[in-house]
Amino acid sequence: MYTVSVKRDFIAQHFLIGGDWGKENFVHSHHFIAELRLHGEQLDRHGYLVDIVDIEAAFDLVVESYRDRTLNELPEFAGINPSIEHFSRILCLKLSERIVAPNIQALTLKLWETPEAWASYELKK
């Protein structure tokens, strides 16, 4: 299976809800690093799983909608805790909508909240 990966980093804010997590219950920032991995068994006629330029363009558009924003204020986080688990799923689904290539069988979005802590979401097509 082939894998193509692209990373982006950005700063966004959030605060956790639904429990007592101390300082995490108050608005704070994270320097997020998001890595998108696209997987598939077949390459196209150019020898690509998907053109990296297309991935980068889609990733830039999606990331810009979160850069310097407070996640809790965005409609996609309404009624849910803005955890990195939820955020990784949301990013993966949004990127899946924008990146269209017949050879992609799965997408994995890995999201670091700190250099030591990450969550990921995998979407099989």
Helix (H) or strand (E) holding 73: none
Domains in the chain and their CATH numbers? 2-124 (3.30.479.10)
- Per the structure block, which two tokens stand in for 101? 């290539």
Q: What pLDDT sits at residue 100?
A: 87
Q: What are phi and psi of 87, to 5 degrees?
A: -65, -40
Q: What pLDDT sits at residue 29?
A: 97
Give the residues across from 35 on adjacent strands: 7, 110
Q: What pLDDT sits at residue 66?
A: 98
| Percent of the chain whose predicted confidence (pLDDT) is above 90 | 97
Residues of the chain with pLDDT under 50: none
Contact 34, 56 (CB under 8 A): no
pTM over 0.75: yes
d(CA 38, CA 36): 7
Q: What pLDDT sits at residue 81?
A: 96
Q: What pLDDT sits at residue 16?
A: 96
